[in-house]
């Protein structure tokens, strides 16, 4: 599958595991994407602006490099191109990124997690340690108790 970014608007069918029949109809324009699918007999059309996508991602799907218009919700991501050769897909990836003015996201490399934050760091030393402690309640044995006394109320 290979779509040309210079011939927008485009319409095609893509795989969708949740949709009835495993397919959804995709329409791509320069400013929005329309996804049409049927789930459990209910037909729906989802209109998504291009600015709501995270970027144009290059990832491996079934061992082949694939260009995907990436959304926060993985079920709304749209495949744009898939090839067995690595060299031409890089040029296509750049064209799609420039067409939609979205960043290129490379998901083929493994992502390293951020190092664990240490407890003794510069931010901790800025805060007074007394504020981190819980304030203790006052002991009731040390409080004054007035029993058998009359209440005095001042009037005028």
Q: Could you tell me if residue 142 is inside a domain? A: no
Q: Could you tell me if residue 129 is inside a domain? A: no
Structural domain boundaries enclosing 15: 10-106
2 DSSP assignment: B
> Domain total for the chain?
1
Phi first, then psi: give them for residue 73, nearest 5 degrees.
-90, 115
Q: Which residues pair with 32 in a beta bridge?
A: 49
Q: Mean pLDDT per segment of 10 residues, for the chain of length 156 residues?
A: 75 84 89 90 91 88 83 87 68 85 81 66 63 67 75 68
Q: Could you tell me if residue 85 is inside a domain? A: yes
pLDDT at 1: 58
pTM: 0.62
Spatial CA neighbour of 1 closest among 80, 63, 75: 80
Q: Could you tell me if residue 120 is inside a domain? A: no
CATH number of the structural domain spanning residue 98? 2.30.29
pLDDT at 75: 84
Q: How far apart are CA 9 and CA 30, in angstroms?
A: 7
pLDDT at 27: 92
Q: Could you tell me if residue 68 is inside a domain? A: yes
**Helical spans, DSSP H, in 39-85:** none
């Amino acid at each position: 599958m290979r779509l040309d970014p210079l011939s927008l608007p485009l319409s095609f069918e893509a795989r969708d595991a949740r949709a009835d029949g495993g397919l959804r109809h995709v329409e791509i324009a320069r400013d929005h994407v329309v996804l049409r699918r049927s789930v459990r007999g209910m037909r729906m059309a989802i209109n998504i602006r291009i600015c709501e996508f995270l970027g144009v991602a290059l990832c491996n799907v079934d061992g082949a490099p694939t260009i995907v218009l990436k959304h926060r919700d993985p079920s709304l991501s749209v495949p744009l191109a898939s090839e067995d050769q690595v060299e031409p897909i890089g040029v296509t990836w750049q064209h799609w990124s420039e067409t939609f003015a979205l960043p290129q996201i490379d998901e083929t490399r493994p992502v390293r997690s951020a190092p664990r934050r240490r407890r003794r760091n510069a931010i901790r030393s800025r805060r007074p340690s007394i504020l981190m402690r819980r304030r203790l309640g006052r002991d009731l044995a040390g409080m004054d108790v007035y029993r058998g006394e009359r209440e005095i109320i001042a009037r005028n």
